[in-house]
Amino acid sequence: MSETTLTSPSTIAALQSMIHELYALRELVTNAAFSGNVAYAGSNPLLDLSKVVGTANGIGYVTGSGGTVTQATSKGTAVTLNKASGNITLNAASLASGATARFQFSNSVIGAADIILLQLTGLVAATSSYNIWIDGVGSGVCFVCVKNISGGALAESIVLGFAVIKVATA
């Protein structure tokens, strides 16, 4: 690996500015003894942190960004919820051992490059009874898969929590 020497005054100044902003952000996160919402807005174009928001209880979406939706007829029934986060309550139809239910989740917040976090959130017989994952993401849609790995048929109305993480590709 070769060594690179940075001698351009503008490059050095840009790096110093970025380091200063990273230290300021670290200080904000380390000393999280604040109340209400806090937003860090840096001035360095290489380090745009204007969308970083946190509270004393952690980071996440503000009230009004979430919602809930319930499947109507089966675990394969499509659902629509145009929110950045929330819960999807699955229909209580039986899912055989080893079977996978796949359904379409339409959501205008989802972009083709976004990451969808998915988690089993409702109380069920055993959280180790299911595997859940996202099987494809497109603009305004993703597909959710739920597999029964319990060893027996299950007929539960499980709840999946989700959050959309926006991904910038440019």
Question: For residue 73, what are the CA distances in angstroms to 90, 93, 127, 152?
Answer: 9, 8, 23, 21
Domain span(s) for CATH 2.60.120 in the chain: 66-165
Question: For residue 61, what are the CA distances in angstroms to 54, 64, 84, 85, 86?
Answer: 9, 8, 8, 7, 10
Question: In terms of pLDDT, which residue wins out, 57 or 138?
Answer: 138
7 pLDDT band, cuts 50/70/90, is: low
pTM greater than the 0.85 cutoff: no
Q: Is 76 helix (H, G, I), strand (E, B) or coil?
A: coil
Which residue pairs from 77-82 have beta carbons closer than 8 angstroms and sit at least 24 positions apart in sequence? 77/103, 78/103, 78/104, 78/105, 78/106, 79/103, 79/104, 79/105, 79/106, 80/105, 80/106, 80/107, 81/105, 81/106, 81/107, 82/107, 82/108, 82/109
74 pLDDT band, cuts 50/70/90, is: very high
20 pLDDT band, cuts 50/70/90, is: low
Where is average pLDDT lowest: 20-29, 35-44, 78-87? 35-44
- The conformational region for residue 46 under phi > 0 = left, psi -120 to 50 = alpha, else beta, is alpha
β-strands 141-148, 100-106 pairing: antiparallel
What pLDDT is recorded for position 1? Answer: 41
What pLDDT is recorded for position 59? Answer: 72
What pLDDT is recorded for position 111? Answer: 92
Average pLDDT over every residue of 106-135: 86
Q: Express as a percent the part of the chain with pLDDT over 70.
A: 62
131 pLDDT band, cuts 50/70/90, is: very high
- Asked if residues 142 and 109 have their Cβ atoms less than 8 Å apart, the reply is no
Average pLDDT over every residue of 10-38: 58
CATH of domain 66-165: 2.60.120
β-strands 130-138, 159-165 pairing: unpaired
69 pLDDT band, cuts 50/70/90, is: very high
The pLDDT mean for the chain works out to: 78
